[in-house]
């Protein structure tokens, strides 16, 4: 009986967007959503960078990005009307 080495896997690299978010298109995630998922992810990443890349604030950054982009979209729609 030989000695078995404990093989551990390296943890996966963390991305800027939430782990469950894996968009493949520019289409909004929910029906009626105004802002495409990928735009939210990009904005959340920029917010994360601007804040100094803090750990554990991914959802806060995500919601902030959603709010910013939805506000911008509403202002854009109002300007067109």
Count of structural domains, the chain:
1
pLDDT of res. 77: 87
Domain membership of residue 54 (yes or no) is yes
**Measuring CA to CA, which residue among 6, 31, 18 is closest to residue 57?**
18
Q: Considering the domain boundaries, does residue 56 fall inside one?
A: yes
Read off the tokens for 22: 């894996």
Kindly state whether residue 60 falls inside one of the protein's structural domains. yes
**Structural domain boundaries, residue 43:** 37-80
Give the Cα separation of 69 and 48 in Å (integer): 15
pLDDT in tens, 35-56: 899 999 999 999 999 999 999 9
| Separation between Cα atoms, residue 65 and residue 80, nearest integer Å | 23
| Torsion over CA: 46, 47, 51, 56 (sign) | negative
Does any domain span residue 32? no
Mean pLDDT, the chain, whole residue set: 76
Q: Which of 53, 48, 81 is nearest to 65 (CA)?
A: 48
pTM of the model: 0.58
């Amino acid at each position: 009986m030989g000695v078995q080495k404990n093989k551990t896997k390296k943890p996966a690299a963390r991305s800027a967007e939430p782990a469950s978010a894996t968009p493949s298109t520019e289409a909004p995630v929910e029906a009626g959503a105004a802002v495409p998922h990928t735009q939210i992810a990009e904005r959340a990443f920029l917010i994360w960078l601007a804040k100094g890349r803090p750990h554990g604030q991914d959802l806060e950054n995500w919601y902030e990005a959603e709010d910013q982009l939805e506000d911008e979209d509403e202002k854009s729609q109002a300007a067109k009307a």
